[in-house]
Structure formats: C-alpha cells, structure tokens
Structure 1
Amino acid sequence: MAIRIVDCFPLPWVRTGLALNSNNRSATGWSRTEGDRLLVEALPPIEGARMIAIVDDDEDVASALGSLVDSMGMFATLFSSADSFLSEEHGKFDLVISDVQMPGASGIDLAMALQVEQVPVILITAFPSTAIERQALACGVRCFIRKPFDPDELIACIEKVMAE
C-alpha cells in the first residue's frame, strides 16, 4: 500500500487524542519526525467512511476539530493551509471545515474554489463580521460558525450537511 505525506507541521505539534503506539501508527495514519517537523501521512479510510478535510493554520484548533470529526465516526485529514489543501486531490472529500483567516488563501478563497466542484464547506472564524458572513454564504458556504463555539453546533451542522 502506498502511503503519502498529507501535510507537515512544526514540532512540537501533537494532535489532541491522537495516540501513537510504538510503531507511530495512529487513527489518522502514520507519523514520523524529520528534523523539527512532524509528517502526518494518510492511510486509506475505512470503506464507506465519510472523508472530512480540516483546514486551519492553528494546530490546536485543527487537532480539536479532527478529534471531533473522528469521534463522529468520520475520517479527518488535517491541512495547515488552504493552499496546502488546494494542492491535493480534493474531490475525494465529502466536506471541508475551514478557518476563514489564514496565511495565503483564505477560507473564503477556498470556498470559492470548491463552489465549482460542489464540495460543501463549513467556515469557522474568530473574527466574524456581517460582510464576511455575507461573502461566505454567497460562495455557497453551508454554515458560518463563530469562535468560540459549542461543539454541538458544529456537530449539528456537519450532520445537516452530510444528510443533504
């Protein structure tokens, strides 16, 4: 089986709830360190599992969102930027959950790029404004969530999008 690197994060970066055994195998995939970087490599998801992309430059937020998605029985793949996500084959994802403000392409830019492919997007932001929310909804964003948020709000949104 071919394993490919999905993304790398500067160390120390530890995903909350991500238990690595002695072989460094985790629920998300395999990881190894290379210098001061943690490389997270993807394994194929379980047949029929929903594939959710988490796009956030804040490692703690990405980790928490990934754990939430994993706890729902879905397969989470973490990306540290919209640019990193867009450089991948992204048609395989059932949903993208992204921060709005990130270095490089923003969550709005990501939503615009995915609108053509009809990949549903949920945006999360710590800096909400009416103008940004209007722009997000005009790009087809399914939910616009303000940080801090109740995890039940995000779960309800994910379930609503997955039921469509």
Structure 2
Amino acid sequence: MIRVVLAEDQAMVRGAFAQLLDLQPDVTVVATAGDGDEALAAVAEHRPDVLLTDIEMPGRTGLDVAQELQGEQTRVLIITTFARSGYLRRAMDAGVAGYVLKDAPIAELVSALRRVHAGERVVAPELAMAAWDSADPLTPRERELLQEVTTGASNADIAVRLNLAEGTVRNYLSTAMAKLGARNRSEAANTARERGWL
C-alpha cells in the first residue's frame, strides 16, 4: 500500500484528489494539508511513502517543503498547474522525485505516484522540454532581491533588511533588469516570477 500525504491549498481540489486516489486499490491518503506548514506536520506525524504537493500554497511553498524533506524517506511528487521551467529546476534541486501537471488525466497522476514510490524520477515531458530550453540567468542574490521587490519593498527597505548598501541593491537590480530585458525592477520581478525563478 502506498501511503500518501496530500498538500493542496484549494479545499475542493484537495478533496477531489483525495477521493480519486482513495479509489486506487494500492493507494491510501493518510492525511491532507492546506499549506506547507500543515504538510510538514502531517509528514512528521504519518511518515508517508509519498508527499503529493502543490507548489503555490500559503506560508511554505511545495518547493520549500521539498527542500526541508531532502534526505528523508518520504519522496515528494509535485503536482501543479504551472508549467514553468524555473519551478522544475528548483524542484529538482530540492530533491523532488516527480513533477506532473494538474491537467493530466488521473491515470497519469496515479502512474507517476506508483513510479515515484518505486524509486523512479518522473517529469511531465512538456516540462522537461521547457526546462531544457530555458536556463535561469539570475544569481541567488539577484533572485533574493527580486523576491523582496515582489513584497513592495523599496531599495532602501531592501538594503536595511539584507544589510547591504542602497547602491549595491540598485546595482544588483539593474543587472537583473538587463538580464531579463525589463524596463524597471517591478517588471523584472514579475518576469522572474512568471518563469518560476522566484
């Protein structure tokens, strides 16, 4: 029996997935979670074989949770609506065992779940091609600063939070804008987010 914790912030989607998975003769959903913190707690309590998780959730994202579970016995299968190459690269860096899209037929999801449980890595083919074609040009520091921009922080605020000179913040953001072909820092942050690099 494959024991699964299911993490998804949309209650209706979470309930539908749980019911569909419980119809499988070799799968049981031992717990569900509405955000990353609940997912970590459920994994700690139930020690499932697989954590099936969305990426974008309140608090910790599915990628954050996967990062924290690296080295644990629970394998992580990401299921998301976002076919963003940056997300896939970050997921692989976090040790995720599988990455599939929500619009795939349930049979494909169940197949991916079984394969991940058996020790394989599974990636939806359309995601693999997108990741191959689109490398993240940003440095970790540029990503960190652009993430701050998404919160609405000014350059001065970012400088204080990250203990940098305001000129240094401006230089990093200018470099990131140039790499992304953006006219301003907000556009650069939005572009990086849309591509899954933040």
Q: Relative to total residues, which structure has the larger helix share, 1 or 2? A: 2
Identity between Structure 1 and Structure 2 (%): 28
Unaligned runs of at least 5 residues, structure 1 = 1-48
Q: Deviation digits for residues 105-158 of structure 1, max 9, x if unmatched?
A: 000001111112131111011122101111101212121112322111111111
CA distance in 1, matches of 2:53, 2:11: 12
Equivalent in the alignment of 2:23:
71
For 1:125-144, list aligned pairs within 5 A: 125-144=80-99
CA distance in 1, matches of 2:69, 2:21: 20
Equivalent in the alignment of 2:100:
145
Q: Deviation digits for residues 76-110 of structure 1, max 9, x if unmatched?
A: 12111111122342461110000000110000001
CA distance in 2, matches of 1:141, 1:123: 7
CA RMSD between the two structures: 1.5
TM-score in terms of structure 1 length: 0.65
* Pair member with larger Rg: 2
User: For residue 36 of structure 2, what is the amino acid of its counterpart?
Assistant: A
CA distance in 1, matches of 2:104, 2:82: 12
Q: Relative to total residues, which structure has the larger strand share, 1 or 2? A: 1
For 1:1-164, list aligned pairs within 5 A: 49-73=1-25, 74-76=27-29, 77-88=31-42, 89-90=44-45, 92-164=47-119
Q: 1:148 to 1:113 in 2, by over 3 A?
A: same
Question: Once superposed, which parts of structure 1, at least 4 consecutive aligned residues long, lie more than 4 Å away?
Answer: none
CA contact (8 A) 2:75 2:117 kept: no
Unaligned runs of at least 5 residues, structure 2 = 120-198
Q: Deviation digits for residues 64-87 of structure 1, max 9, x if unmatched?
A: 211122111322121111111223
TM-score in terms of structure 2 length: 0.55
CA contact (8 A) 1:91 1:119 kept: no
CA contact (8 A) 1:91 1:117 kept: no
Q: How many residues align?
A: 116
